[in-house]
Amino acid sequence: MGRKVYLNGKFIDRNKAKISIFDHGLLYGDGVFEGIRSYNRLVFKLREHIDRLYKSADAIELKIPMAKRILIKAVRDTLKRNKLDNAYIRLVVTRGPGDLGLDPRKCKTGVIIFIITDKIALYPRKFYERGLHIVSARIRKNYKGAINPNIKSLNYLNNILAKIDGIKKASHEAIMLTYDDYVAECTSDNIFIVKGGTLLTPPRDITLKGITQGAVINIARKKKLRFKEKNMRLSEIYKADECFLTGTAAEIVPVIKVDGHVIGTGKPGPVTRFLLAEFHKLTKIDGVRY
Protein backbone atom coordinates (compact mmCIF):
# COMPACT_ATOMS: atom_id res chain seq x y z
CA MET A 1 0.00 0.00 0.00
CA GLY A 2 1.26 3.48 -0.92
CA ARG A 3 1.32 6.44 1.41
CA LYS A 4 -1.88 8.37 2.02
CA VAL A 5 -2.35 12.12 1.98
CA TYR A 6 -4.96 14.05 3.92
CA LEU A 7 -7.15 16.10 1.57
CA ASN A 8 -10.06 18.08 3.00
CA GLY A 9 -10.94 15.49 5.63
CA LYS A 10 -10.27 12.35 3.61
CA PHE A 11 -7.27 10.05 3.25
CA ILE A 12 -6.39 9.41 -0.37
CA ASP A 13 -3.63 7.47 -2.08
CA ARG A 14 -0.88 9.99 -2.80
CA ASN A 15 -0.88 9.07 -6.50
CA LYS A 16 -4.62 9.72 -6.78
CA ALA A 17 -4.87 12.96 -4.82
CA LYS A 18 -6.04 15.85 -7.02
CA ILE A 19 -6.87 19.54 -6.76
CA SER A 20 -8.35 21.79 -9.43
CA ILE A 21 -6.08 23.46 -12.00
CA PHE A 22 -8.12 26.58 -11.16
CA ASP A 23 -6.97 26.53 -7.54
CA HIS A 24 -5.57 29.96 -6.70
CA GLY A 25 -2.77 28.30 -4.76
CA LEU A 26 -1.54 26.91 -8.09
CA LEU A 27 -2.44 29.88 -10.27
CA TYR A 28 -1.15 32.64 -8.00
CA GLY A 29 0.60 31.15 -4.99
CA ASP A 30 -2.42 32.24 -2.95
CA GLY A 31 -2.12 30.10 0.12
CA VAL A 32 0.05 29.29 3.12
CA PHE A 33 1.98 26.29 4.39
CA GLU A 34 4.15 24.82 7.12
CA GLY A 35 6.99 22.32 7.01
CA ILE A 36 7.08 20.27 10.22
CA ARG A 37 9.20 17.42 11.60
CA SER A 38 8.42 14.45 13.79
CA TYR A 39 10.98 12.56 15.86
CA ASN A 40 10.17 9.13 17.30
CA ARG A 41 6.43 9.84 17.14
CA LEU A 42 6.73 13.33 18.60
CA VAL A 43 5.70 16.16 16.25
CA PHE A 44 8.27 18.80 17.15
CA LYS A 45 6.72 22.12 18.18
CA LEU A 46 3.50 21.29 16.35
CA ARG A 47 1.44 23.90 18.19
CA GLU A 48 3.96 26.63 17.28
CA HIS A 49 3.77 25.58 13.63
CA ILE A 50 -0.02 25.62 13.71
CA ASP A 51 -0.03 29.06 15.34
CA ARG A 52 2.28 30.38 12.61
CA LEU A 53 0.09 28.84 9.91
CA TYR A 54 -2.99 30.65 11.25
CA LYS A 55 -1.06 33.92 11.53
CA SER A 56 0.05 33.60 7.91
CA ALA A 57 -3.52 32.83 6.85
CA ASP A 58 -4.87 35.82 8.80
CA ALA A 59 -2.27 38.06 7.15
CA ILE A 60 -3.60 37.20 3.68
CA GLU A 61 -7.23 37.21 4.89
CA LEU A 62 -7.66 33.50 4.32
CA LYS A 63 -10.06 31.88 6.77
CA ILE A 64 -9.11 28.35 7.82
CA PRO A 65 -12.48 26.70 8.51
CA MET A 66 -11.15 24.40 11.18
CA ALA A 67 -10.21 24.79 14.83
CA LYS A 68 -6.51 24.45 15.59
CA ARG A 69 -7.10 21.32 17.69
CA ILE A 70 -8.83 19.63 14.74
CA LEU A 71 -5.96 20.45 12.43
CA ILE A 72 -3.48 19.12 14.99
CA LYS A 73 -5.49 15.89 15.09
CA ALA A 74 -5.42 15.71 11.28
CA VAL A 75 -1.61 15.94 11.31
CA ARG A 76 -1.36 13.21 13.94
CA ASP A 77 -3.85 10.99 12.10
CA THR A 78 -1.96 11.37 8.81
CA LEU A 79 1.28 10.28 10.46
CA LYS A 80 -0.41 7.32 12.14
CA ARG A 81 -2.13 6.29 8.91
CA ASN A 82 1.26 6.21 7.16
CA LYS A 83 3.03 4.46 10.06
CA LEU A 84 5.84 7.01 10.13
CA ASP A 85 7.90 7.36 13.31
CA ASN A 86 10.23 10.03 11.92
CA ALA A 87 8.85 12.22 9.19
CA TYR A 88 8.63 15.50 7.39
CA ILE A 89 5.12 16.95 7.24
CA ARG A 90 3.96 19.47 4.65
CA LEU A 91 0.71 21.15 5.69
CA VAL A 92 -0.83 23.34 2.97
CA VAL A 93 -3.88 25.61 2.87
CA THR A 94 -4.88 27.16 -0.47
CA ARG A 95 -7.53 29.73 -1.31
CA GLY A 96 -9.28 27.06 -3.35
CA PRO A 97 -10.54 27.01 -6.95
CA GLY A 98 -11.75 30.23 -8.54
CA ASP A 99 -11.55 31.84 -11.97
CA LEU A 100 -8.59 33.19 -13.93
CA GLY A 101 -8.72 36.56 -12.20
CA LEU A 102 -6.91 37.60 -9.04
CA ASP A 103 -10.06 38.36 -7.04
CA PRO A 104 -10.09 35.97 -4.03
CA ARG A 105 -13.85 36.48 -3.70
CA LYS A 106 -14.23 34.32 -6.81
CA CYS A 107 -12.96 31.30 -4.89
CA LYS A 108 -16.43 30.30 -3.78
CA THR A 109 -16.09 26.58 -3.07
CA GLY A 110 -13.84 27.02 -0.05
CA VAL A 111 -10.24 26.46 0.93
CA ILE A 112 -8.27 23.31 0.21
CA ILE A 113 -6.30 21.72 3.05
CA PHE A 114 -3.89 18.90 2.45
CA ILE A 115 -1.19 17.17 4.47
CA ILE A 116 1.69 15.20 3.00
CA THR A 117 3.92 13.06 5.23
CA ASP A 118 7.19 11.62 4.03
CA LYS A 119 10.89 11.44 4.80
CA ILE A 120 13.39 14.19 4.07
CA ALA A 121 17.17 14.65 4.15
CA LEU A 122 18.01 18.21 3.14
CA TYR A 123 21.79 17.93 3.50
CA PRO A 124 24.11 14.91 3.43
CA ARG A 125 25.37 13.80 6.85
CA LYS A 126 28.93 14.88 6.05
CA PHE A 127 27.92 18.55 6.17
CA TYR A 128 26.76 18.24 9.78
CA GLU A 129 30.14 16.75 10.67
CA ARG A 130 32.46 18.84 8.50
CA GLY A 131 30.45 21.97 7.71
CA LEU A 132 28.83 23.53 4.66
CA HIS A 133 30.17 25.89 1.99
CA ILE A 134 27.61 28.53 0.97
CA VAL A 135 27.47 31.65 -1.17
CA SER A 136 25.61 34.95 -1.28
CA ALA A 137 22.91 35.35 -3.93
CA ARG A 138 22.56 38.33 -6.25
CA ILE A 139 18.77 38.05 -5.82
CA ARG A 140 17.60 40.36 -3.05
CA LYS A 141 14.99 39.49 -0.42
CA ASN A 142 11.57 40.97 -1.11
CA TYR A 143 11.13 44.37 0.52
CA LYS A 144 9.21 43.84 3.77
CA GLY A 145 6.93 46.77 2.96
CA ALA A 146 5.73 44.87 -0.11
CA ILE A 147 5.63 41.31 1.21
CA ASN A 148 5.67 40.63 4.94
CA PRO A 149 8.51 38.09 5.37
CA ASN A 150 6.59 36.44 8.21
CA ILE A 151 3.89 35.25 5.85
CA LYS A 152 4.87 31.71 4.93
CA SER A 153 3.05 31.73 1.63
CA LEU A 154 2.97 29.38 -1.33
CA ASN A 155 4.69 32.00 -3.47
CA TYR A 156 8.36 31.10 -3.00
CA LEU A 157 9.64 32.47 -6.31
CA ASN A 158 11.89 35.01 -4.56
CA ASN A 159 13.62 32.16 -2.71
CA ILE A 160 13.67 29.89 -5.75
CA LEU A 161 15.46 32.48 -7.87
CA ALA A 162 18.07 32.88 -5.12
CA LYS A 163 18.33 29.09 -4.91
CA ILE A 164 18.98 28.90 -8.66
CA ASP A 165 21.68 31.53 -8.24
CA GLY A 166 23.30 29.36 -5.55
CA ILE A 167 23.04 26.25 -7.71
CA LYS A 168 24.85 28.04 -10.53
CA LYS A 169 27.65 28.72 -8.07
CA ALA A 170 27.73 25.03 -7.08
CA SER A 171 26.39 25.75 -3.59
CA HIS A 172 23.76 23.92 -1.55
CA GLU A 173 22.48 27.16 0.00
CA ALA A 174 22.62 30.90 -0.63
CA ILE A 175 22.39 33.96 1.60
CA MET A 176 19.79 36.53 0.62
CA LEU A 177 20.39 40.21 1.34
CA THR A 178 17.85 42.96 1.85
CA TYR A 179 17.45 45.76 -0.70
CA ASP A 180 19.88 47.83 1.42
CA ASP A 181 22.50 45.06 1.59
CA TYR A 182 21.93 43.65 5.06
CA VAL A 183 21.98 39.89 5.59
CA ALA A 184 18.42 38.56 5.84
CA GLU A 185 18.29 34.76 5.61
CA CYS A 186 19.09 31.89 3.29
CA THR A 187 16.74 30.45 0.70
CA SER A 188 15.42 27.78 3.08
CA ASP A 189 17.11 28.53 6.39
CA ASN A 190 17.76 31.21 8.97
CA ILE A 191 21.36 32.19 9.65
CA PHE A 192 23.34 32.71 12.85
CA ILE A 193 26.91 33.69 13.57
CA VAL A 194 29.02 33.64 16.72
CA LYS A 195 31.37 36.59 17.24
CA GLY A 196 33.34 37.27 20.40
CA GLY A 197 31.21 34.84 22.38
CA THR A 198 27.91 36.42 21.32
CA LEU A 199 25.30 34.61 19.24
CA LEU A 200 23.87 36.87 16.51
CA THR A 201 21.03 36.55 14.01
CA PRO A 202 19.43 39.15 11.71
CA PRO A 203 16.39 41.05 13.07
CA ARG A 204 13.37 38.79 12.94
CA ASP A 205 11.19 41.45 11.32
CA ILE A 206 13.16 41.17 8.06
CA THR A 207 13.08 37.36 7.91
CA LEU A 208 10.64 34.53 8.40
CA LYS A 209 10.54 33.84 12.14
CA GLY A 210 11.81 30.28 12.02
CA ILE A 211 10.54 27.69 14.48
CA THR A 212 14.00 26.13 14.74
CA GLN A 213 15.52 29.60 14.90
CA GLY A 214 13.25 30.38 17.85
CA ALA A 215 14.18 27.11 19.54
CA VAL A 216 17.88 27.96 19.24
CA ILE A 217 17.29 31.44 20.68
CA ASN A 218 15.43 29.94 23.64
CA ILE A 219 18.19 27.40 24.24
CA ALA A 220 20.78 30.19 24.17
CA ARG A 221 18.83 32.25 26.70
CA LYS A 222 18.26 29.31 29.04
CA LYS A 223 21.92 28.39 28.90
CA LYS A 224 22.95 32.01 29.57
CA LEU A 225 24.65 32.48 26.20
CA ARG A 226 24.92 36.09 25.06
CA PHE A 227 22.49 36.67 22.23
CA LYS A 228 21.09 39.55 20.21
CA GLU A 229 19.41 40.33 16.92
CA LYS A 230 21.59 42.54 14.77
CA ASN A 231 21.70 44.01 11.30
CA MET A 232 24.78 42.51 9.66
CA ARG A 233 26.69 43.01 6.44
CA LEU A 234 28.24 40.14 4.53
CA SER A 235 31.67 41.28 5.72
CA GLU A 236 30.60 40.46 9.30
CA ILE A 237 29.63 36.94 8.26
CA TYR A 238 33.05 36.48 6.63
CA LYS A 239 34.79 37.51 9.88
CA ALA A 240 32.61 35.44 12.23
CA ASP A 241 34.09 32.93 14.65
CA GLU A 242 31.31 30.47 13.78
CA CYS A 243 28.34 30.34 11.44
CA PHE A 244 25.41 27.96 11.18
CA LEU A 245 21.99 27.66 9.56
CA THR A 246 18.70 26.59 11.11
CA GLY A 247 15.50 25.24 9.62
CA THR A 248 12.89 22.56 10.13
CA ALA A 249 14.35 20.35 7.43
CA ALA A 250 17.98 21.35 8.01
CA GLU A 251 17.84 21.39 11.83
CA ILE A 252 21.21 23.03 12.68
CA VAL A 253 23.95 22.75 10.07
CA PRO A 254 27.39 24.37 10.50
CA VAL A 255 28.84 26.64 7.81
CA ILE A 256 32.61 26.76 7.39
CA LYS A 257 32.97 28.84 4.22
CA VAL A 258 30.97 31.75 2.73
CA ASP A 259 31.80 33.13 -0.71
CA GLY A 260 35.19 31.46 -0.39
CA HIS A 261 35.94 33.06 2.99
CA VAL A 262 36.86 30.51 5.68
CA ILE A 263 34.78 30.96 8.83
CA GLY A 264 36.74 30.74 12.08
CA THR A 265 38.97 27.67 12.14
CA GLY A 266 37.30 26.16 9.09
CA LYS A 267 35.61 23.55 11.28
CA PRO A 268 32.24 23.43 13.12
CA GLY A 269 32.77 25.51 16.26
CA PRO A 270 32.05 24.71 19.93
CA VAL A 271 28.96 26.90 20.23
CA THR A 272 27.44 25.33 17.11
CA ARG A 273 28.15 21.82 18.40
CA PHE A 274 26.73 22.67 21.83
CA LEU A 275 23.52 24.12 20.38
CA LEU A 276 23.08 21.15 18.06
CA ALA A 277 23.37 18.73 21.00
CA GLU A 278 20.88 20.76 23.04
CA PHE A 279 18.52 20.96 20.07
CA HIS A 280 18.55 17.17 19.67
CA LYS A 281 17.60 16.87 23.35
CA LEU A 282 14.70 19.26 22.77
CA THR A 283 13.31 17.22 19.85
CA LYS A 284 12.75 14.35 22.28
CA ILE A 285 10.47 16.29 24.66
CA ASP A 286 8.91 19.35 22.96
CA GLY A 287 5.92 18.56 20.79
CA VAL A 288 2.77 16.53 20.34
CA ARG A 289 2.74 12.74 20.57
CA TYR A 290 0.94 10.46 18.12
Question: Do 161 and 98 fall within a single domain?
Answer: no
Give pLDDT tens digits for 1-29: 689 999 999 999 999 999 999 999 999 99
Is residue 147 in a domain? yes
Question: Do 17 and 46 fall within a single domain?
Answer: yes
pLDDT of 158 > 70? The answer is: yes
Select which of 4, 45, 141, 152 is catalytic. 152
What share of the chain has pLDDT > 70, as a percent? 100
Question: Do 88 and 138 fall within a single domain?
Answer: no
Question: Do 144 and 169 fall within a single domain?
Answer: yes
pLDDT of 165 > 80? The answer is: yes
The CATH number linked to 183 is: 3.20.10.10
DSSP-assigned states of every residue in the chain: ---EEEETTEEEETTT----TTBHHHHH--EEEEEEEEETTEEETHHHHHHHHHHHHHHTT----S-HHHHHHHHHHHHHHTT-SSEEEEEEEE--B--SSS-GGG--S--EEEEEEE---SS-HHHHHH-EEEEEEEEEPPPTTTS-TT--BS--HHHHHHHHHHHHTT-S-EEEE-TTS-EEEESSSEEEEEETTEEEE--TTSS---HHHHHHHHHHHHTT-EEEE----HHHHHT-SEEEEEETTTEEEEEEEETTEEPTTSS--HHHHHHHHHHHHHTTTSEEE-
Question: Do 183 and 97 fall within a single domain?
Answer: no
Question: Do 169 and 216 fall within a single domain?
Answer: yes
Question: Do 72 and 143 fall within a single domain?
Answer: no
> How high is the pLDDT of residue 1?
60
What predicted TM-score, i.e. pTM, was given to this entire model?
Answer: 0.96
Question: Do 111 and 141 fall within a single domain?
Answer: no
Which domain-ending residue is among 69, 101, 118?
118
Per-residue pLDDT band at 250 (split at 50, 70, 90)? very high
Q: Is 230 a catalytic residue?
A: no
Q: In the predicted model, what is the mean pLDDT of the chain?
A: 97
Question: Do 207 and 95 fall within a single domain?
Answer: no
The CATH number linked to 26 is: 3.30.470.10
Count the domains in the chain: 2
Question: Do 66 and 190 fall within a single domain?
Answer: no
State the residue range of the domain holding 33: 4-118
Question: Do 176 and 41 fall within a single domain?
Answer: no
